[in-house]
Structure 1
């Protein structure tokens, strides 16, 4: 069993059925690329690769990616103007990586920059939850409750799961004007 930096073993609900904080709702409900939205809200965007490795799919994720025993776990931090705004965790089943080779080694390239350019992309329901942040990712952020969202995407009929945790700094982002 692998351990991700943040456990997302939480109760999840359809995000549209939740009462979300007004300043976070547009972020959580964003149907397009979160990376593109972040880039519109800062002068300097950066992705930090925290972890990328093959792993057994945790039992709580197996219903979302049925038939998947092993997946590539990728954990990143998305920074806007030197503030950590989003922790993202993606689970890429082995069969997805085998057929879509560019996903195998994204490095410090945002996953969103790739998948949202693909014509065969569809997104499942955006689910959301609230979780308590603690541990390594709270350094440089205010600890406390954070909202997270997750979706299962189908890219050319192949599944991948993306979960994003909205860190406190995201609440202070404003669109950048030229």
Structure 2
């Protein structure tokens, strides 16, 4: 089994019942596209693809994506002003990728740019936790707040988790 860089195996709770750090709360509870929000707060935005492959869905995620044995695992870093701000991990079940072909080969294009343009998109509950993030290639090692949601797009599920890296503290909270 191919494993992701960062494990999402943690205790997750609904965001609306937790006290979130004031600086991250607006980002964590953002109901629309995190990509679009980041783009509004930085002069330079880019996506760095870390990993994109078929993988067995870990047992601890199977309750979120029932009837899914394998999925396309995608891991990226969202960069803002040359700072690694968000680590994102998505799990796209095979049926979802088969029907929604643009998701099969996003490369360094943001997932959010695609899914939030689709009229059949529904976001489930936003859950949060803290994850130990170790990305030595980016000199990042920290305990970070993270969020996850299961989306359905035309009835097809996908899971997206995002961890807010330490550089988020350097972003100005006012849009450009």
Q: TM-score surpassing 0.5?
A: yes
- 1:140 and 2:125 correspond: no
The 5-angstrom pairing of residues 21-60 of structure 1 reads 21-60=21-60
Q: 1:25 to 1:156 in 2, by over 3 A?
A: same
SS in 2 for 1:134: strand
SS in 1 for 2:27: helix
The 5-angstrom pairing of residues 13-24 of structure 1 reads 13-24=13-24
Superposition RMSD on alpha carbons, in Å? 1.1
8 A Cα contact 1:133 1:145, kept in partner: yes
Alpha-carbon distance in 2 for matches of 1:59, 1:82: 35
SS in 2 for 1:104: helix
8 A Cα contact 1:153 1:160, kept in partner: yes
Deviation of the 1:171 alpha carbon: 1.6
Deviation of the 1:134 alpha carbon: 2.6
Alpha-carbon distance in 2 for matches of 1:50, 1:132: 17
Alpha-carbon distance in 1 for matches of 2:100, 2:6: 26
- Unmatched runs of 5 consecutive residues or more in structure 1: none
- TM-score for both structures, normalised by structure 1: 0.95
- Unmatched runs of 5 consecutive residues or more in structure 2: none
SS in 2 for 1:47: strand
Task: Please name the residue that 2:112 is paired with.
Answer: 112
- TM-score for both structures, normalised by structure 2: 0.96
Alpha-carbon distance in 2 for matches of 1:133, 1:96: 28
Residues 17-53 of structure 1, C-alpha deviation per residue, up to 9 Å, x if partnerless?
A: 1111000000000000000000011000010011000
8 A Cα contact 2:3 2:55, kept in partner: no
